Amino acid sequence: MSDVTRAEIAVVAVAELFRGDGELVASPMGTVPSLGARLARATFEPDLLLSDGQAYLVDGDGTVEGWQPFRKMLDTIVPHGRRHVVMGANQVDRYGNQNISAIGEHDRPAKQLLGVRGAPGNTVNHRTSYWVPRHGRRVFVESVDVVAGVGYDNAAKAGAAAQRFHDVHRVVTNLGVFDFGGPDHVMRGLSLHPGVTEDEVAEATSFPVDCTGASTSRLPTAEELHLIRDVLDPAGMRDQEVPS
């Protein structure tokens, strides 16, 4: 399978985020996260619940299977932990703090970003992962300008109320898969995508990342490749997010 693209490896890596999740609401944001969630649902996580982004729960083909209007998310899903969000991040630091609010001073930022949206609640209420299509030093920074999604160090400082359901699970990038299982919950490499070296990751990250224990991200199976290419994304939207 030498023709497997980096985007396809990333889709499978995102699908793997949901392995073992069972019957909970997957909330993927972005093309590759959406494809990953639908791939997981179509293969090894058949109980995963997918939203159409508005009011319905749908299966992988878009067939409606439930009523889940957005406002119910805050009533029933978020506070009970039955959700796994895969969000984007403009900045991430070694402890998993995430920024989508502003670059620079918050009051008069150099770059006003989208705003914290659900990150402050998501990160302390249920499992959250991040998707970074372009792994680089501008994203993986020494310290984020505004903590929107809560990382491990800040959750510990904030105490029990923040830690009870705090679960920053993984970061998937175009270079590899990372978690926060290092000493003091620092980010470490779990697997690097085929062809990616530890030096490449070190070069693209502003803080040290231990990749000594990292394996190689797995390739799609023949069935997964068929699903990605022919069923879930025949138009090849994935290649726009992660160019080969």
Partner 1 sequence: MADIVSLADGVGELVHDGDVVALEGFTHLIPHAAGQEIIRQGRQDLTLVRMTPDIVYDQLIGAGCARKLIFSWGGNPGVGSLHRFRDAVQHAWPVPLEIEEHSHAGMANRYVAGASGLPFAVLRGYRGTDLPEHTATIKWITCPFTGEELAAVPAINPDVSIIHAQRADRAGNVQMWGLVGVQKEAVLAAGRSLVTVEEVVDELEPVAGQVVLPHWAVTAVAEAPRGAHPSYAQGYYERDNAYYKYWDSIGRDRDTFRTWVRDEVLAGRDSADAAGDKEGVR
- The yes or no reply on residue 231 touching partner 1 (CB under 8 A) is no
- Could you give the CA distance from residue 28 to residue 50 in angstroms, rounded to a whole number? 9
Which residues pair with residue 28 across a beta bridge?
86
Query: What count of Cα atoms within 13 Å lies in the side-chain half-sphere of residue 126?
Result: 21
Per-residue mark of binding to partner 1, 19-58 (x: CB under 8 A): -----------------------------------xx---
- Which residues 174-193 are close enough to bind partner 1 by CB under 8 A? none
- The yes or no reply on residue 109 touching partner 1 (CB under 8 A) is yes
CA angle 33, 35, 40 (to 5 degrees): 95
We find the least distance from the C-beta atom of residue 163 to partner 1, in angstroms, to be 9
- The yes or no reply on residue 158 touching partner 1 (CB under 8 A) is yes
- The yes or no reply on residue 235 touching partner 1 (CB under 8 A) is no
Residue placing its CB nearer to partner 1 in the complex, 54 or 212:
54
Residues in contact with partner 1 by the rule CB under 8 A: 54-55, 69-71, 74, 78-79, 101, 106-112, 114-121, 123-125, 146-151, 154-155, 157-162, 166
